[in-house]
Structure 1
């Protein structure tokens, strides 16, 4: 059996993405109330492997906001944060196949992880930011139940670099 060499740049871009993820995760882990959920699978060999994860933290009405999130929050969500009912879902990492197949099924792993992350925060709204140019992630999040909040007067420009999404 032979293996094909990887395309030039694929491994390097994977490593750069993995390094960036680890840096973001390390910073987010320091946030009060940080939570991480993992999904594992057992291979035929008996080895347990990490297959997905979701993580986030509660947002408060005081203190530093998550990556400039305050510039994206409509006034009604700022009030929700002040009441302690806003939870930033900072990351949902799943295999590409999970992001592209059966997105709307309740048993979809990404849907279950994000839902479980919010269950411990009764009545909390989930919020996340997605890069405006990352159409694949945006469409996957919409399929997983995320929604754009209704625009308020003076809302964020559609030309802003990121979009705010909300999950109930």
Structure 2
């Protein structure tokens, strides 16, 4: 599943920033803990901005692999798969420069000990005066704008997971998408998560709801005539 936050094309490579600590409870695979289900076997860890730049080709392959699970546009309608991947790279390169940017990857350890990238999620704080709200001005609940004014909102811009994560055990705490989004918000005590999903992408919308996301209280039938994305909230 892919959840997109629109962004402007990047014109330069991201710069490295400071360290990103790895929380102790995610430093070993969950499958090695007593009583943990095998679905928790992936390592979850952050990448700093230089690592994101160095591993862009892997993230691009992950995007191509996971986005292929989503409903496809009819032939000759919409961008090609390569164009979508290029847009993903540009979007990520743009977002990685935002203050407070954080990106997590999940990696599964194979029999040889090599780690394979299986999922990714990233986001950044959003502010009331920022550009993230672009097309949603006038269609947002006042309480969210108040939270944004005190730096209490964190936008989860993309969640890239395999189909099994979207369709199996969605409500379990160890569902990989739930683990990723919870970990992103954990460093921002009390923060409210927000994300945008294309209004036509019902598969992603249903998956997000199964992972605990809820429509914005301002979501109305009339709103759909003015904006192309739904705003979802995770508290």
Q: TM-score category by the smaller chain?
A: 0.7 to 0.9
Say whether residues 1:88 and 2:149 are aligned partners.
no
Superposition TM-score, scaled by structure 1 size: 0.84
Say whether residues 1:45 and 2:112 are aligned partners.
yes
Cα distance in 1 between the residues matched to 2:203 and 2:217: 22
- Number of residue pairs aligned between Structure 1 and Structure 2: 156
Shift of residue 24 of structure 1? 0.9
Cα distance in 2 between the residues matched to 1:16 and 1:50: 22
Shift of residue 158 of structure 1? 2.7
Question: Unpaired segments of 5 or more residues in structure 2?
Answer: 1-74
Matches within 5 A, 1:52-91: 52-62=119-129, 64-66=130-132, 68=134, 70-71=136-137, 72-91=139-158
Shift of residue 52 of structure 1? 0.6
The corresponding residue for 2:61 is none
| Contact 2:99-2:124 within 8 A present in 1 as well | yes
Say whether residues 1:148 and 2:211 are aligned partners.
no
Cα distance in 2 between the residues matched to 1:69 and 1:47: 43
Name the CA shift for 1:155/1:13 in 2 (closer, same or farther; >3 Å): closer
Give 2:97's match in structure 1, choosing from 1, 7, 30: 30
Cα distance in 2 between the residues matched to 1:98 and 1:22: 23
Name the CA shift for 1:111/1:123 in 2 (closer, same or farther; >3 Å): same
Shift of residue 108 of structure 1? 0.3
Name the CA shift for 1:66/1:97 in 2 (closer, same or farther; >3 Å): same
Q: CA RMSD in A?
A: 2.2
Q: Which moved more, 1:94-103 or 1:31-40?
A: 94-103
Shift of residue 156 of structure 1? 6.3
Cα distance in 2 between the residues matched to 1:70 and 1:150: 13
1:66 is paired with a residue whose SS is coil
Shift of residue 15 of structure 1? 2.9
